[in-house]
Structure formats: C-alpha cells, structure tokens
Amino acid sequence: MHIMEGYLPFKHAALWTIAMAVVTFSSVKDVRAQLNVDRQTLLKLGAAIGFCFLLSSLKIPSITGSSSHPTGIGLGTLLLGPHIMPLVGVITLLFQAVLLAHGGLTTLGANTFSLAIFGPWCVYFLFIAMQRLQLPMSWRVFIASSVGGLAVYGFTAFQLALAFHEAGEGIGASWLRFILIFAPTQIPLSLAEGLLTVVCMKALGKSKLEFDHASRD
C-alpha cells in the first residue's frame, strides 16, 4: 500500500494530506491523555510502531506505483485502540519514506489514511463484532487482523481508482481492477499476519479493546 513518491496527482495528494493531518492531530491529543492515565502507553506505542514498521517494510512488488506487504496494524489497534494508530502510521511511514524509499512524502497522507486510519477502524469494528458473537479470543484477533489488513489494500485500491480511472470506466470498475491485482499476494500475506498477531497477543495478554468493551457492557 506504499503509493510511491509523486505518483498521485497534486490535488489528490494534498487532500489526503490535509485529512490525515486533522486526524493525526486528534491522535496526538489522545496519546497525551492516555499517557496521563497509564504510563505504559509509551511502551505499547513503541511496540506498535516497531511491529508496524517491521512488517510493512517487507515490500513485495504488486502494481506499478504501489507494493504489497503485511500491514502490522492489528497489534497496535488491539493494544492502543484505533484512535492512536494515526500517530503510529505517520511515524512508521515517515521513517520508511526517508530511510527506505517506501512510499513518499507527497503520498504520506494517502498512505497514512489507508494504513493507519481506515484499516485500524476496520480491525476495531471486526474485533467488537467477533466479541459479540462470543468467538474465542484467538479467532477474534485472527479475523480482525487478517481482514483489517485486506481492508487497507481495499482502500488503497479506492485511492488509486479515484485518481486513475480511465475514460468511460467508472470508479467501481477501476477499483475492482486494482484490487484483483493486489489480491494474489495480499490474501496469503494477510492470513499470515493474522496468525502472527495471534501469537503476539497471546504473549502480551488481554487487549485494550477487550478491556474497553467489557467496561461498557
């Protein structure tokens, strides 16, 4: 989902950057508030950034202008909640753009929106839905992380379709064309990521989402 530097038209890149900046500003405020309540948030934030950076650096060519790889968003979302993930995504993608030439600065907004905003909220809602169905914890983590990772690529395909649909071709048809190119590599990667996230969550214990949801019931 690393849309490369300069690939998006200026207007698209600018709009995604503005939208990302607004959400990330709110994320920073949430991190500060959470740190006042639980100082271990800083350790969890570091773990989420490291996990996301490592997995999303495993770049596999998928399509001109983008790439396919695990996302690493499941662990951070389960540990911290989806509202913290925009900050995780910005830090991860900024370092990758500067140090690894994955993605870019002009596409930082678009890449952050798919990886760290849309994807984590999909993980969140899926996890809560699986919890309401009373599935075992391992299945909740696996399904939420795997499908959430696929959702990142679904949204990246939407971003590319929005910018590059051909004359006479609707955005929906263009989205389908992009997503079918991503699918062969991304589906097995997402399943593997789901399994890895289960292993990590078993080692770390109960997720923040489970704590938060239990307190509301």
pLDDT in tens, 16-36: 999 999 999 999 999 999 888
d(CA 142, CA 35): 28
Comparing 63-67, 131-135, 190-194, which segment has the lowest mean pLDDT?
A: 63-67
Res 217: pLDDT: 45
Does residue 5 lie in a domain region?
no
Does residue 213 lie in a domain region?
no
Does residue 115 lie in a domain region?
yes
Does residue 128 lie in a domain region?
yes
Does residue 217 lie in a domain region?
no
pTM of the prediction?
0.88
More confident residue, 211 or 103: 103
Q: Band of the pLDDT at 204, cuts 50, 70, 90?
A: confident
d(CA 87, CA 31): 9
DSSP designation for 102: -
Q: State how many domains the chain has.
A: 1
pLDDT tens, 127-180?
A: 999 989 999 999 999 999 999 999 999 999 999 999 998 877 889 999 998 898
Does residue 138 lie in a domain region?
yes
d(CA 217, CA 213): 7
Mean pLDDT across 50-65: 78
d(CA 106, CA 96): 13
DSSP designation for 8: S
Res 208: pLDDT: 60
Question: If residue 200 lies in a helix (H) or strand (E), which one and from where to where?
Answer: helix 171-204
* CATH number of the structural domain spanning residue 103: 1.10.1760.20
Does residue 190 lie in a domain region?
yes
Res 201: pLDDT: 87
d(CA 110, CA 18): 10
Res 213: pLDDT: 46
Range of the domain at 157: 10-208
More confident residue, 63 or 81: 81
Does residue 183 lie in a domain region?
yes
List the Cα angle 127/108/48 in 5-degree steps: 40
Res 185: pLDDT: 84
pLDDT tens, 74-118?
A: 999 999 999 999 999 999 999 999 998 888 999 999 999 999 999
